[in-house]
Amino acid sequence: MRSKRDVLGLTGNAFTILRDLIHERTGLYYDDGKRDLLADRLAPLVIEHGFDSFLDYYYLLKYNSYSSDEWQRVMDVLAVPETYFWREVDQIHALVNVLIPQYVDEGRPIPIRIWSAACSTGEEPLSIAIALNEAGWFQKAPIEIYGTDASPLAIARAQHGLYRERSFRSLPLKLRLKYFEEKDGQWQIKPEIHARVRWGVANLMVESEIAHLATAPFIFCRNVFIYFSEEAIRKVVDQFYRHMPTPGYLFIGASESLVRLSTGFELQEIGGAFVYVKRDAPQSERTQWSDH
């Protein structure tokens, strides 16, 4: 006997309007080849509501005035929790060894604010905290680290601070032993490092949720744009540009690029890593970027 999940099916028309709604609200884009993937992830939510079709679920998300909680559940099931400690660590070293010293020497505003904008379960902002601690920066200057994600479930796990072996594929063993304690077959981050990060839920597509965070001069938004459309990437990057100070530094993933987009950020090599730097531009140019 076929399961209800098999019977549901995500038809062409329902897929298109549901896919477009999700894209509008989250930035995540599912092309035609990913219809089954989207159906598999959303099917449990559709079934839980007792609906007979994905179209019914679309109407819930689109028109129900109480759908905000449901959107958080959507973010949980669509989240891709692929992250680990010391991932693309060259950028973190550039931050700690070059940009932070430069920031302090220039007498720029303190506290120094760093935002990990799509931190998933927290490995990235904790890696930043570990690197800063290793370099003694917490004793030299006031620093605030923010870790946010659109998935409440991912942030709940980050707040718990307990990690499995797969999160340590790149972290040197001496740092694991220094900053983590083994607990029932997993590893608990030391409280003094965990407390360095302020956790929260924020959707990159909702400016009101990220505006205050984007005032940070250092933003890590890595390995999330690979799931976004160019339109969504441009929208998010433009929001970053409007709120970041000048100069501001944007770190994206090694497999991502803003080169094809018309933005106010200039790609530079800093401390052996590639970083997008916010530069000053005439108002006419900034208006042009916003109109794309």
Indicate if the pLDDT at residue 167 is higher than 80. yes
Extract the tokens encoding 291: 């109109």
Q: What is the mean pLDDT of residues 32-37?
A: 94
**CATH class of this structure's domain 4-78:** mainly alpha
Q: Tell me the C-alpha to C-alpha distance, in Å, between residue 278 and each of 149, 174, 237.
A: 23, 36, 10
The CATH fold assigned to 89-290 is Rossmann fold (3.40.50)
> Residue 232: what residue type?
A
User: Diameter of the chain by CA atoms?
Assistant: 70
The 10s digit of each residue's pLDDT in 178-192 is 999 999 999 999 999
Indicate if the pLDDT at residue 88 is higher than 90. yes
The answer to whether 251 touches 91, Cβ cutoff 8 Å, is yes
The 10s digit of each residue's pLDDT in 226-261 is 999 999 999 999 999 999 999 999 999 999 999 888
Which residue did the predictor score with more confidence, 279 or 264? 264
Indicate if the pLDDT at residue 156 is higher than 70. yes
* Domain parsing of the chain, residue ranges: 4-78, 89-290
Q: Tell me the C-alpha to C-alpha distance, in Å, between residue 270 and each of 39, 105, 185, 277.
A: 42, 16, 39, 10
Indicate if the pLDDT at residue 292 is higher than 50. no
HSE on the CB side for 111, CA within 13 Å?
Answer: 12
The model scores a pTM over 0.85: yes
- CA gap 90, 21 in Å, rounded: 36
Which residue did the predictor score with more confidence, 130 or 10? 130
Q: What is the mean pLDDT of residues 209-231?
A: 97
CB atoms within 10 A of CB 271: 15
